[in-house]
Copies of this chain bind each other. A is one copy, B any other.
Amino acid sequence: MSGRRKAVFIVMDGLGDRPTPELGGKTPLQAAKTPALDRLAKEGQNALMDVIGPGITPGSDTAHLALFGYDPHCSYPGRGPLEVLGTGLESRPGDIAFRSNFASVDSNMVVTDRRAGRFFTPEEQAALQEAIDGIEIDDIQIRFLATVEHRGALILRGPGLFPDITDVDPHETGLKILECKALNQESQKTADIVNKLMIEANRRMKDLPLNKERAKQGKPPANAILLRGPGRHGEIPTLKEKYGIKSVVIAGGALYIGTAKYVGMEHVHVEGQTGTIDTNFHNIALKAIECIKSDYEYIFVHIKATDNASHDGNAQEKILAIERTDAMVDMILKAVGDKIVIAVTGDHSTPVTHQEHSCDPVPIVIWANFMRSDSVERFSEIDAAQGGLHTIRGMDVLPLLLGYSGYIDKYGA
């Protein structure tokens, strides 16, 4: 259909904040200089948004599901499957997916280092991956991918697996790896497989040449794996199936990439996108513009730096992350402003004074050059409360974006 626009969605992680004493009572967003975002706020429509619902503090994973138009109460598979999808290990419906650590244990399976020293060479990672990936226990196949430092992703694949099991990680050194227990009868098989896997992985890892080499260098051995965040995802309709759109995620963190893949988005890599304050905002803007000009119809950009600064309680760094995002938005507007409908928001609030996620709603602005404006003049948590979109929820964002972009058919005749 002619007249369709590209739907662009920019999420600054943990954007929402509270009045901050070191900023004279302003929020970091109020204190930041944001000419591009202020232009959107002035010309577009604004709101304070409850991403999940009033009073509910969103997790990053549930928040993104809601922002992609899925009810997290129905569609949330747990963090494991989402993060595993983000690593590139393709989990399938029915698989049980975990996040995993390499760890050091003694001969009694007592944990001596929960991260086995944290640092691994690519060769060590490859050797450990080869030792674990492909293990078979009874009728269950294990898939494993080493990712960053001591981290990895692990999948159990086979019939009759359910995810309601207890943790094996004692979360302290000096304690034995815990026995995995089933929290209901249908998950008993999964618990049994996990317990056998703890022993089998240790058997395969402990005598690897790399561990002899590490011992010589005084490094702790990588002779066990600790699993956490088990989950099992069902089949959900993709964005393509729901709306017929081709969609893409531009993000650094595995969780955001994974959640986007879960709903059927493709991932494109950006050189220098690190998820920290030093991420390459310029390259992210260029990639977003490239995607908008290509056949992608929904382009999702995730900026992590705002949340990292918030968790560190660093108001100045949060301001800097916001200002760099503003410059990125400005590049996009100048290049393709007449081709897009754009929404900018956060996935949750992480006040720098609180350093954790909070239930405070987040500011959101939706803009296209044909839209009505409301009375808001600046993009901030305080101004957005006067916005014409009033109280919207995270699940409303995608329909609004796609409605104005022309991708949702008229309902009825």
Contact = CB atoms under 8 A, between A and B. Distances in A.
B385 A381 contact: no
Contacts of A275: none
Contacts of A388: 48, 385-386
A412 interface: yes
A51 to B, nearest CB: 10
Given A375-B385, A382-B372, A408 B354 contact: no
A61 interface: yes
Nearest to A384: B388
A106 to B, nearest CB: 31
Interface stretch (A90-98, A124-132, A320-328, A396-404): A396-404
Interface string A365-383: 0000011111100000110
A318 interface: no
A333 to B, nearest CB: 18
Contacts of A375: 385-386
Interface stretch (A52-60, A163-171, A173-181, A307-315): A52-60
Contacts of A371: 18, 360
How many chain copies?
A: 2
A19 B403 contact: no
A412 B72 contact: yes
A19 B372 CA distance: 6
A199 to B, nearest CB: 28
A410 interface: yes
A202 interface: no
B48 A403 contact: no
Contact of A403 (B18, B54, B72): B54
Contacts of A3: 354
A371 B20 CA distance: 10
B62 A411 contact: yes
Given A55-B396, A399-B55, A61 B385 contact: no
A370 B60 contact: no
Interface of A is mostly: loop
A403 B353 contact: no
A359 interface: yes
A76 to B, nearest CB: 6
Contact of A413 (B18, B60, B408): B60
A270 to B, nearest CB: 25
A412 B347 CA distance: 12
Interface in A60-80: 60-63, 72, 76, 79
A5 interface: no
Nearest to A21: B370
Contact of A52 (B57, B386, B411): B411
Given A72-B412, A357-B410, A358-B404, 18 more contacts: A3-B354, A18-B371, A18-B372, A19-B373, A48-B388, A52-B411, A53-B399, A56-B403, A56-B411, A59-B411, A60-B413, A62-B411, A76-B412, A79-B412, A358-B403, A359-B400, A374-B385, A390-B390
22 contacts: A3-B354, A18-B371, A18-B372, A19-B370, A52-B411, A54-B392, A54-B399, A55-B399, A55-B400, A55-B402, A55-B403, A56-B403, A59-B412, A60-B413, A61-B413, A76-B412, A79-B413, A359-B400, A372-B381, A374-B386, A385-B388, A391-B392
Closest 7 CB pairs of A and B: A59-B412, A55-B399, A55-B403, A62-B412, A385-B388, A359-B403, A390-B391
Interface of A: 3, 18-19, 27, 45, 48, 52-63, 72, 76, 79, 229, 351, 353-354, 357-360, 370-375, 381-382, 385-392, 396, 398-404, 408-413
